[in-house]
A and B are shown apart, each in its own frame.
Chain A
Amino acid sequence: GESVGLHLPTLSVQEGDNSIINCAYSNSASDYFIWYKQESGKGPQFIIDIRSNMDKRQGQRVTVLLNKTVKHLSLQIAATQPGDSAVYFCAENTGRDDKIIFGKGTRLHILP
């Protein structure tokens, strides 16, 4: 069935280091993937997206990698800062009316 999952529920990273958050998806028909950041008490905030015809996309301090062969998605955050502390969700768009399916999320802790 359709599912989006994350390998690790919690990730602790030293401030200044790079963070890598992983995600697996199971629906090979999904053609659009999104990473959201959610801080405590707030709604999900769009970070970056990637379409299935790409394998890499870069934003400001963030990079998303897509490996369609193994149905794997990752979010790389460069030079992690305290403000990056949040829960990160990957989400997949199955192409039906922009309906997206979220995974359970990874909590990113920044160590001083």
Chain B
Amino acid sequence: DTGVSQNPRHKITKRGQNVTFRCDPISEHNRLYWYRQTLGQGPEFLTYFQNEAQLEKSRLLSDRFSAERPKGSFSTLEIQRTEQGDSAMYLCASSLDSPAGGTQYFGPGTRLLVL
């Protein structure tokens, strides 16, 4: 399977703990996106990378959130000092940059529950 993969699939943590999620995009895709999805809502954009450069961050991405894509391949999303409001599904997507726009393909997501 050469699709987008995410690990872990589920994470339960206590409030105040740090968590880190990993995303492995489709291998030839140079763009990588992070979204957050809460129950009953559509995914909300958090941030995206073109190769290793982080080009945009949403206002939703507070100082407790940090994302990296050090070698332009896999990416990590870290949440420090988690809060109950951080409970959500965190989705990663990747696309191939093209003049006509690239289709984003999503991974299965990491479901976070903060107790």
Which residues of A line the B interface, CB within 8 A?
A: 4, 31-32, 34, 36, 41-46, 49, 51, 89, 91, 93, 95, 97-105
Contact = CB atoms under 8 A, between A and B. Distances in A.
Contacts, number: 63
Nearest to A51: B100
Interface residues on B, range: 20 to 34
Given A44-B106, A93-B101, A104-B40, 10 more contacts: A34-B104, A36-B106, A41-B111, A43-B106, A43-B108, A44-B43, A89-B43, A97-B55, A98-B95, A100-B45
Contacts of A97: 31, 48, 50, 55-56
Contact of A49 (B6, B55, B103): B103
Interface of B: 4, 6, 31, 33, 40-45, 48, 50, 55-56, 91, 93, 95, 97, 100-109, 111
Nearest to B96: A98
28 contacts: A4-B42, A36-B106, A41-B111, A43-B4, A43-B106, A43-B107, A43-B109, A45-B106, A46-B103, A49-B103, A51-B100, A51-B101, A89-B43, A93-B101, A97-B48, A97-B55, A98-B48, A98-B95, A98-B97, A99-B45, A99-B48, A99-B56, A100-B45, A100-B104, A101-B45, A103-B42, A104-B41, A105-B41
Contacts of B107: 43
Contact of B42 (A32, A42, A46, A104): A104
B42 A89 contact: yes
B25 to A, nearest CB: 13
Contact of A43 (B44, B91, B97): B91
Contacts of A4: 42
Contacts of A42: 108-109
A102 B42 contact: yes
Nearest to B95: A98
